[in-house]
Amino acid sequence: MTTEQRRTVSVILPPHGGEGLLGLPASQARGIVLFAHGSGSSRLSPRNLHVAGVLQQTGLATLLFDLLTEAEAEDRGNVFDIPLLAERLDSATDWAGTWPATRGLALGLFGASTGAAAALVLAARRGEVRAVVSRGGRPDLAAEALPRVAAPTLLIVGGADRQVLELNRQARRHLRCLSRLDIVPGATHLFEEAGALEQVAALAQAWFRRHLDAAKEAS
């Protein structure tokens, strides 16, 4: 599937009327993945856009949006306010559940950095979340929510991102759901090394296809 066979639609999301980028595959979507970015990033993150493009190629819709307004993002404390980030992700999930092109689709969450913690908090709260992928995430910040996550969870960490890798190992011990930790050899926190982001996208693609397809078949 080429880029021309996919399309991206600008949408307006609650609660602050922020812009979102809804990516739609050429054929009927098999599921939808909402992206929760981390500190210093936005809906225009080239890394998340790359992963979203790969997911769209396999028939998944994607939604990228800003968790914070520009004014809120100026306060560094908001970046680590996991309940606030999870609330914004919750609102976007509600929107996706009512939008005609995405209503009723199996739901996945892709989180990076602190956005991964927000995704896990939301997954613990909402049973309709069918799969979670964390890229260089901080699942440890989800704290007491971790044992309540039911959705299959994939943690992807760069092998050279040692501190975050250890935090992911510790957090995974608290997960009671199906989970896996995949390490991209030699990759640092932003997966800027040659081929590293492609590995992330391939791992995420396989995880979402497996678990969102299973959810679709079971419905």
- Residues with Cβ within 8 Å of 153's Cβ and at least 6 positions away in sequence, in order, are 120, 123, 131, 132, 133, 134, 139, 175, 177, 178, 179, 180
Residue 57 has pLDDT above 70, yes or no: yes
What is the reported pLDDT for 5? 60
pLDDT computed for residue 69 by the predictor:
82
Q: Does the predicted TM-score (pTM) go above 0.95?
A: no
Say how far apart CA 39 and CA 55 lie, in whole Å.
23
Residue 142 has a pLDDT of 97
- Residue extents of the structural domains in the chain: 3-218
3-218 is classed in which CATH architecture? Answer: 3-Layer(aba) Sandwich (3.40)
